[in-house]
Amino acid sequence: MKTKDQSREMVCIVCPVGCRLTVTVKDGEASVEGNNCQRGEIYGKEEITAPRRVVTATCSLRDPEHPRLPVRTDTALPVEYIQELLAEIYTLSVPVPVVLGDVLIGNYRETGVNVRAARSVRSRSDEADQVKARI
Ligand code: SF4
């Protein structure tokens, strides 16, 4: 699909500098002004043609002490899939133990994006074993 002619102001969110970008689309070609580096150009073009976001959320964890597990995508997902992915994340019920970085949903809709655990949670028996080992 060809992007129609337009011009948009936006702030680059790739790094903390926050350059103010002007992204213009003319005859299907996007150009970026105001960026201090190449990453800003890539961000501006992508934002106007195919925006993506990293998704963070929590899901259910089968552990009475820690009932919620923070999760995040390992790369940015096309925005049109975000609501659907959140609905899927909210149906998860993850058993313990879980390790930071464990893949909970792999290659979502063939996008190459994985949903990963954003923290580790040990099972009670693992914790008890560690306490015994220290005694
Ligand atoms: S254009 Fe480059 S320097 Fe500016 S905010 Fe984006 S990444 Fe940072």
Q: Could you tell me if the CB of 14 is within 6 A of ligand 1?
A: yes
3-state secondary structure of 9: strand
Sign, CA dihedral 35-40-45-51, equals negative
Place of tokens 């994985």: 114
Instruction: State the pLDDT confidence band at 28, using cuts at 50, 70 and 90.
Output: confident
- How many residues are given for the chain? 135
Which amino acid residue places its CA nearest to atom 3 of ligand 1?
36
pLDDT of residue 128: 65
Residue 127 has pLDDT above 80, yes or no: no
Tens digit of each residue's pLDDT (9 = 90 or more) over 47-92 = 998 999 999 999 999 998 889 999 999 999 999 999 999 999 999 9
Q: Could you tell me if the CB of 35 is within 6 A of ligand 1?
A: yes
Q: Are 101 and 120 in contact (CB under 8 A)?
A: no
- The Cα 49–Cα 117 span in angstroms is 30
* Domains, the chain, with CATH or none: 6-50 (2.20.25), 56-134 (3.10.530.10)
Between the CA of 43 and the centroid of ligand 1 the distance, in Å, is 9
Between the CA of 17 and the centroid of ligand 1 the distance, in Å, is 6
Largest CA distance in the chain: 72
**What is the token pair recorded at 20?**
């103010």
Q: Could you tell me if the CB of 20 is within 6 A of ligand 1?
A: no
Choice from 10, 13, 19, 42 to test ligand 1 binding pocket (greatest atom count within 8 A of CB)? 19
The rounded mean pLDDT for the chain is: 92
Instruction: State the pLDDT confidence band at 124, using cuts at 50, 70 and 90.
Output: confident
pLDDT of residue 5: 85
Instruction: State the pLDDT confidence band at 105, using cuts at 50, 70 and 90.
Output: very high
Higher pLDDT, 124 or 43: 43
